[in-house]
Copies of this chain bind each other. A is one copy, B any other.
Amino acid sequence: MKVIELKMTVTDSNDRDAQALRRELTERGIFLINLMSAPGSGKTTLLSRTITDLAGKVKIGVMEADIASDVDARRISELGAESIQVHTDGMCHMDAGMTRTGLENMENSGDRIVFLENVGNLICPAEFDTGAHKNVMILSVPEGDDKPLKYPLMFSKSDVLIITKSDAAPYFDFDFEAVESRVRKLNPSILIFPVSAKTGDGMEAWEDYILSEWEKRHA
């Protein structure tokens, strides 16, 4: 499993780079999904379960972005998926140039879904287009239902919201309806999937969504 040290991209326009990267990936048959969340929301656990459930249906690669450590990439590579770890040189986000460098370091290059697990942070990653086809945000039940009020940009920029650790709802004071109404005020077309990667509840709807988006691109 590779570990790549990145530097911030020096470029005029991240938005332009991101659009160019997205086009190239589409041509190469890569469907890039950018997963964003706070630290500890269960991104890697969700991803592990998703990879296991989708095994045999589609090829999957994973790029783990972190400030330090390779604990997440090691967890993913144990599942047999191709996995690389990128280190962001202290930066709290991935940009399009950094994502491109990471992708260039992956061995298998075409016809697959690649998940980019962005740096655990609800602020900076929302400000940089990575070139992904879909932005997916993860909010875990223990974080609380007030997060759309406090981090509005992240909720506005995401195509999908996954609410993880739904099995923990009985132990926390989390109002699913309040979250949905707060999120829809910011982003009326967002898709919302409540899931528990532990019990499997809700995972099928999320995985069906990924497969249908994948098939749209490979009809």
Given contacts A68-B152, A142-B165, contact A38 B120 (CB under 8 A): yes
Interface membership of chain A positions 33-72, coded 1 if the CB is closer than 8 angstroms to chain B and 0 otherwise: 0000011100000000000000000000000001111011
Is A168 an interface residue, CB under 8 A from the partner? Answer: yes
- Chain A 69-103 interface residues, beta-carbon cutoff 8 Å to B: 69, 71-72, 90, 92
**Of B38, B72, B127, B149, the contact of A40 (CB 8 Å cutoff):** B38
Q: Is the interface of A mostly helix, strand, loop or mixed?
A: loop
A122 at the interface (CB under 8 A from B): yes
Number of interface residues of A (CB under 8 A): 33
Closest B residue to A124 using CB positions: B92
CB contacts (< 8 Å) of A197 on chain B: these are: none
Whether a CB of chain B sits under 8 angstroms from the CB of A166 is: no
User: Would you list which residues of chain A between 155 and 211 have a CB under 8 Å from chain B?
Assistant: 165, 168, 171-172
A123 x B67 contact (CB < 8 A): yes
Report whether B39 and A143 are in contact in the complex, using a CB–CB cutoff of 8 Å.
yes
Scoring A68, A120, A152 by chain B CB atoms within 10 A of each residue's CB, the highest score goes to A120
Closest to A165 in B: B142
Known A40-B38, A66-B150, A68-B149: A121·B92 in contact at CB below 8 Å: yes
Our pick among B71, B121, B149 for the contact of A69 (Cβ within 8 Å) is B149
Chain B contacts for A152, CB-based, 8 A: 67-69
Query: Is A119 interfacial (CB-CB < 8 Å)?
Result: yes
Residue A110, interface by CB 8 Å: no
Cα A172 to Cα B153 with chains together (Å): 29
A128 on the B face (CB < 8 A): no
A146 interface residue per 8 A CB criterion: yes
Residues of B within 8 A of A172 (CB): 168
How far, in Å, is A68 (CB) from chain B's closest CB?
Answer: 5
What are 5 A-B residue pairs whose CB atoms fall within 8 Å in the complex? A68-B149, A68-B151, A69-B146, A71-B150, A142-B168
